[in-house]
Amino acid sequence: MIDFSCDYNCGCAPEILAALTCANGAQHATYGFDSYSAAAKEKIRAAIGNPGADVYFLVGGTQTNATVLSSILAPWEGVLSAASGHIAVHEAGAVEATGHKVLTLEADAYGKLSPGTIASWLESFFADGTHPHMVRPGAVYLSHPTEYGGLYTAAELRVIRALCDEYGLRLFLDGARLAYVLAARGTDVDLPLLGELCDVFYIGGTKCGALCGEAVVFRRPQPCFFPAHKQRGALLAKGYLLGLQFDALFTDDLYLRLGAQAIDCAMALREGLRARGVSFFPESNSNQQFPVLTAEQLAKLKGRIGFEVWRSFPDGSALVRLCTSWRTTKAEVEAVFAALDS
């Protein structure tokens, strides 16, 4: 069976495997003080155009979200998130377990928080005379793409940044699938823009060609983040295993090339499904596609193509998610069409 249920169900890019093999026979400095990590950090700083950025390597997305937010929020602060955001739904209360409330706001059909929604919530919060008794907002959490494949525009991010400045909030962007949206058709958001606007964001590796790993990028030096992520169990003793993966990802534009492979296949998948009369909800430009398939179409895919059901309907149809990844091929996309046409 060809599995499109998620984008992290296989190993790593050959370039990373080769780097791991080369490094395996040598000794390396521990806790991220190795030469691979140093080289990767410099390459990331160059890619975002900020030589003063502070870069750290963590293992996975949930660990990263909880660790970063616990380090940037005061004990009495919470974080604004879309109600459908990953930290609000699919992380088993990891952020709340650090003592910080996730303050959920309604998002649009794409899972995006609009600047207007954020502004309205903040105005209402601070207009309430009892707000000193409440959990104070300390940060805004965005995921790019969202859980529904929504992409923020540069203009939207700039307005949200301005709101954060006005109200003294930090802007944190979850980039678990960042390689794919950097390659998305029509996007005007790139790494330098994220480096400019976000107080902290991360460059996803786990879902974007690495065995595991996320590169956390702070806009300014964070002298206390090393002990903060050590305390949370997020500091890997064999830190070179993460550093060398990002060193490989940021050599010869590998990260962008892997993202482009996934997007090319996602767009081919979308166009092929559309040609077969399939509708989408929503229609995404990311590597995640959300077609509504009939009961007959679902039956044809079952056992041949892996997918994730997001919503079932009374008539037997369902909204499903199909994910392409860095290793998806056009032949695998064609296999979806062959199954539907059988």
Structure tokens at 171: 């802007």
Percent of the chain whose predicted confidence (pLDDT) is above 70: 100
How far apart, in whole angstroms, are the C-alpha atoms of residue 31 and residue 37? 10
pLDDT number for residue 217? 98
Helix axes of 35-48 and 240-249: crossing angle, nearest 10 degrees: 40
Residues of the chain with CATH 3.90.1150.10: 2-7+255-341
pLDDT recorded at residue 314? 97
Pick the CATH number of 2-7+255-341 from 3.90.190.20, 3.90.1150.10, 3.30.830.10, 1.20.1280.290: 3.90.1150.10
Contact assessment for residue 7 and residue 287, using Cβ atoms and an 8 Å cutoff: yes
User: For the chain, how many residues are written?
Assistant: 342
Domain at 14-252: CATH code: 3.40.640.10
Q: What is the pLDDT of residue 279?
A: 97
**pLDDT bracket for residue 232 (50, 70, 90):** very high
| Alpha-carbon dihedral 64, 65, 66, 72, rounded to 10 degrees | 100
What are the phi and psi torsion angles at 145 (to 5°)?
A: -75, 170
* pTM summary value: 0.97
- What pLDDT does 95 receive? 98
| pLDDT of amino acid 325 | 98
Where, residue-wise, is CATH 3.40.640.10 in the chain? 14-252
DSSP string, 125-162: HHHSTTGGGSPEEEEEEEESS-TT-----HHHHHHHHH
| pLDDT band with cut points at 50, 70 and 90 for residue 10 | very high
pLDDT value of residue 36 = 98
Q: What is the pLDDT of residue 242?
A: 98
112: pLDDT confidence band, cut at 50, 70 and 90? very high
Mean pLDDT of the 244-268 span: 98
Q: pLDDT, tens digit, for every residue of 38-61?
A: 999 999 999 999 999 999 999 999
Give residue-wise pLDDT tens across range 131-170.
999 999 999 999 999 999 999 999 999 999 999 999 999 9
- Per-residue pLDDT, averaged over 118-141, amounts to 98
Per the structure block, which two tokens stand in for 234? 């997020």
> What average pLDDT does this structure show over 73-99?
97
